[in-house]
Structure 1
């Protein structure tokens, strides 16, 4: 207690609290997103193991150790980058899975959307597919579980369509599922934004290749 308070004197007037302008982004959140973007780019260019948090901080003009104000460890940086990618895929995957569309229409939309998403998020998709093994076993299990959701859904759609006579009976649904994801997930390796086809056009090309091989003619 201060002497003024003990004497019953009124508190000194406090300056009015600064009010955040409507629509003005939180500066710390914006800076944290900048840290994540920079880390993703550096992990992509140099590799996760070869990049230090000190180098990330220096790239951002932060004093040594200041990067830890925004994230607690280098692994946390990688995990948050991968989780952002996961959250984006969940948005469209959950919508497609919950729709009332026939199985092959769901497959068509997933191939198109996932190919475009992989190709237009090259930095994060590359880290998602190449650096996830640098995470702790517990976090790796989270990644594997999310991938398994996609694979199980596609396997179920192909199996259902085959039972209905829409897919060739001589094809193995599991092999077809692996082939689809092998094709879609490879886009980050070779897609170029300035190439002849857009990401969406490549997704539609993939659809035609897959469905022409699956469907009963």
Structure 2
């Protein structure tokens, strides 16, 4: 049985969430450690017990976003056989998490210039890995079609990610769709150019081969 997170872990989570909210509202540079401490009900001294400085909090936010994205992509790719379903699940999850953690994703997309150079190189590499998983499954799906549409895979993947990522700008909680429902809907729209036709069923392919 998995136990409850330690109080230290819970405190770090609360600090990161509080900092993300402040960074998203007033910007990273305009936010002080004193404001972060006040937002989460800690003294400044206690806050420094968990994080050395504001930059460390920002770095942890970036690391968390990318680690979650990579972990989800690898899990889905390893557990789902159909390439189109892999793509749908990845995009739907990206939209859902962006909506559910809107402040954190706003920081992730808008405060990149504040991140140390060594971390940015890591983030760029992780993005490349994530995008490559999507590219691999787009290519696998197209290869299985008898008459694949002419699609630039790189442009298509970037367009899908743009549609998924941009929701942090306009999503408002309390609307007619939940974050999960919105994720499924945007994934449906984004993948429509691929979903116009399906690969032949294995049985049909076998019959065509032997006839």
- Preserved CA contact (<8 Å) 1:36 1:77: yes
Structure showing greater Rg: 1
In structure 1, the partner of 2:184 is 204
In structure 2, the partner of 1:16 is none
Unaligned runs of 5+ residues in structure 1 are 1-22
Alignment partner of 1:165: what SS?
coil
* TM-score, normalised via structure 2 length: 0.83
- Preserved CA contact (<8 Å) 1:35 1:60: yes
Cα 1:175–1:70 shift into 2, 3 Å: same
- Preserved CA contact (<8 Å) 2:17 2:104: no
Alignment partner of 2:51: what SS?
coil
Q: Deviations over 1:153-192 (max 9, x none)?
A: 1111111221222673311111111110000011111111
Cα 1:98–1:25 shift into 2, 3 Å: closer
Shift in Å at residue 145 of structure 1? Answer: 1.5
- Preserved CA contact (<8 Å) 2:98 2:167: yes
- Preserved CA contact (<8 Å) 2:24 2:107: yes
* Alpha-carbon distance in structure 1 between the residues aligned to 2:156 and 2:4: 48
In structure 1, the partner of 2:17 is 37
In structure 1, the partner of 2:163 is 183
* Alpha-carbon distance in structure 2 between the residues aligned to 1:25 and 1:199: 26
Most deviating of 90-99 and 101-110 = 90-99
2:90 is aligned with 1:134 = no
Unaligned runs of 5+ residues in structure 2 are 198-211
Cα 1:158–1:33 shift into 2, 3 Å: closer
Cα 1:156–1:30 shift into 2, 3 Å: closer
Cα 1:166–1:128 shift into 2, 3 Å: farther
Shift in Å at residue 150 of structure 1? Answer: 1.7
- Preserved CA contact (<8 Å) 1:54 1:65: no
* TM-score, normalised via structure 1 length: 0.80
- Preserved CA contact (<8 Å) 1:168 1:216: no
